[in-house]
Structure 1
Amino acid sequence: MLDNRTRKMGVNSPATFAKINIDERLYLGTIEKGLLVLDTFCANPRPMTLAEVSEASGLNKSATQRVLYTLRALRYLTHSETTRQYSLSARTMDIGNAYLRSNPIVEATFPYLLEANKRSQETVNLTELDGSDIIYISRVPSRSVMSSYVTIGTRLPAFATAPGRAIMANLSPSVTEDLLKTSDFAAITPYTITTRHELVDELEKVRRKGFAIANQEAMLGDISTAAPIFGYDNHVVAAVNIAASTANWTVEKVEAELSPIIVEIARQMSKVASQYRRP
């Protein structure tokens, strides 16, 4: 949680992830600090001063200055002598692009995203679970203005999204329980489910129906239906969803017309994804 000084500066702390089974003999704290600063820019996608980066990251100013200098020297950051602000450089895109190129599921399933887009005439997305968030790793947009709300790399809380629920409902009970514990159930829109009890009920519906629907819970004006994608050993590895506008669709119409498409496409994608054994 941000303290009062951080709130006044208008900066966000980066997302935190639990460290599991860390061997301190091998763990490099200097790399952690560097990545923490990069994560700070991800949480605050705008130019920031040294003081703002220090405040948001929790590092003292001396450590922050050294990290910023190093990242600038390595061309991961740029610096304005006029405003004294730092910004991410274009080079930081290399890491994300390398991940997408190295993920065989992204390329192998893209024709199915195209097929779902052709059949629905709406935006189709491929997402993975990362921590308690889903992250968009591939998409085929519709011609609707709604397409601009999400880009590849966008993160959203899994509990409030159809693809997040499609994945959560098909994880092992212990993993789902851990996700429920780490989800803060903060309202993103007036329609967001904000209690554990409601979400558990929704996940049970997903298991029973084979698909999830979220109505304006993560973005106003957006109705999404999603189905899980199963990989090697029948473990859920991703979800595919169709996002439609409330201007043209109702929940009932989405369930009747778009959910069958996404369930069929997810089955086809699962056959492809099951051929790849990932770490």
Structure 2
Amino acid sequence: MSRDTQTVTALTRGLSVLETFARLGHSLSLAQVARELGLPKSTIFRLMNSLVSLGYLEQPVKGGPYNLGPRVLGLGFAVLQGLDVREAALPHMERLFAQVNETVNLSILDRRQIIYVARVRKRELLSLNLFVGSRLPVYSSSPGRVLMAYLPAAEREKLIRGLEADPDAARWLASRGVDLRLLCDQVRIQGLAVNDGEYLPELFALSAPVLDVSGRARAALSIPILKRGQPAEVLCDRLAGPLKECAARISALLGHGAEHLLRPQT
């Protein structure tokens, strides 16, 4: 193996280690990471020690679990600061929160997942364990469905085919009878995606697209609610209008003429 190939392999594995922390939690043992990545503990030990020396991981107690280090957080904040959509959205998210008294989320697409990049959270005893940086599958979440629906046609079809070829995604979709192509058509017609108990039985979520000047969804604005016996129709009637209006105002700041988002649902 050439030195260049060894360097690329080490870099790929190091990034996989960091992604494991992002996916599973901020504090993991060497054994947990090795098991998750299917690599020898000796290999993971060398990788994690290198990441500690660079500041991307920390090990507060020798022999104990590792945590994400400050350099990772610095990179994350740099990315978030570069997302002008987040900066544009936050004041409007706060106003929407004040209007409906429910949690408001902003998400972006990352391959086959969504990432939460901003959140105005309602404080309550029972709430969803989501935070800025959390990821969800694109196919089972209402923000993901919005972001998928507003992709250019060729990109959308490529993403759907990839999901259909993924065993976990295909199994989930088949078990619920979800046709992603039909669903995307419905989302574009209504300007909304609805998830009524598909991801979690008690969870109801509405999402609307934040569009740029090209008509592409730069982000998805969403309101998730624990239903507590409330009918989906009642929740939709209360939240759909304010959500779509807020998404349209943010879209306008990004240069999109979003009047069509405000038309009544069909």
Query: What are the within-5 Å matches in structure 2 for residues 1-12 of structure 1?
Result: none
Distance 1:47-1:263 versus aligned 2 partners, 3 A rule: closer
Deviation at 1:53, TM superposition (A): 2.3
Paired amino acid for 2:47: V
**Partner SS state of residue 205, structure 2:** strand
Alignment match, 1:139: 119
TM, length-normalised to structure 2: 0.82
Paired amino acid for 1:207: R
Paired amino acid for 1:264: E
Query: What are the within-5 Å matches in structure 2 for residues 108-123 of structure 1?
Result: 108-123=88-103
Alignment match, 1:149: 129
Deviates more, 1:103-112 or 1:174-183: 174-183
Alignment match, 2:259: none
Alignment match, 1:175: 155
Q: Pick from 74, 82, 85 the counterpart of residue 94 of structure 1.
A: 74
Deviation at 1:100, TM superposition (A): 1.1
Q: Which runs of 5+ in 1 are unaligned?
A: 1-23
Distance 1:234-1:132 versus aligned 2 partners, 3 A rule: same
Deviates more, 1:193-202 or 1:228-237: 193-202
**1:130-168: CA deviations, max 9, x gaps?**
111111101111233454521111100111111111111
Alignment match, 1:185: 169
Alignment match, 2:106: 126
Deviation at 1:111, TM superposition (A): 1.1
Alignment match, 1:226: 207
The answer to whether the Cα contact below 8 Å between 2:85 and 2:219 also exists between their aligned partners in 1 is no
The answer to whether the Cα contact below 8 Å between 2:127 and 2:226 also exists between their aligned partners in 1 is no
C-alpha separation between the residues in 1 aligned to 2:253 and 2:229? 32
**Partner SS state of residue 200, structure 2:** coil
Alignment match, 1:70: 50
Q: Which runs of 5+ in 2 are unaligned?
A: 257-266
Q: Pick from 210, 217, 241 the counterpart of residue 198 of structure 2.
A: 217
C-alpha separation between the residues in 2 aligned to 1:193 and 1:228? 26
**Partner SS state of residue 214, structure 2:** helix
The answer to whether the Cα contact below 8 Å between 2:107 and 2:118 also exists between their aligned partners in 1 is yes
C-alpha separation between the residues in 2 aligned to 1:57 and 1:235? 35
**1:10-49: CA deviations, max 9, x gaps?**
xxxxxxxxxxxxxx99x83332221111112223326444
C-alpha separation between the residues in 2 aligned to 1:159 and 1:179? 10
Deviates more, 1:250-259 or 1:56-65: 56-65
**Partner SS state of residue 169, structure 2:** coil
Asked whether 1:205 is paired with 2:186, we answer: yes
Deviation at 1:173, TM superposition (A): 2.1
Percent identical among aligned pairs is: 29
Asked whether 1:56 is paired with 2:40, we answer: no
Distance 1:120-1:76 versus aligned 2 partners, 3 A rule: same
TM, length-normalised to structure 1: 0.78
Alignment match, 2:17: 37
**1:25-82: CA deviations, max 9, x gaps?**
9x83332221111112223326444343233223344432221111111232233656
Distance 1:163-1:173 versus aligned 2 partners, 3 A rule: same
The number of aligned residues is 248
Paired amino acid for 1:136: Y
Paired amino acid for 1:271: A
Deviates more, 1:200-209 or 1:133-142: 200-209
Cα RMSD (Å) of the superposition? Answer: 2.7
Distance 1:244-1:51 versus aligned 2 partners, 3 A rule: closer
**Partner SS state of residue 259, structure 1:** helix
The answer to whether the Cα contact below 8 Å between 2:150 and 2:215 also exists between their aligned partners in 1 is no
**Partner SS state of residue 69, structure 1:** helix
Alignment match, 2:239: 258
**Partner SS state of residue 184, structure 2:** helix
C-alpha separation between the residues in 1 aligned to 2:13 and 2:160? 28
Paired amino acid for 1:72: V
Deviates more, 1:69-78 or 1:103-112: 69-78
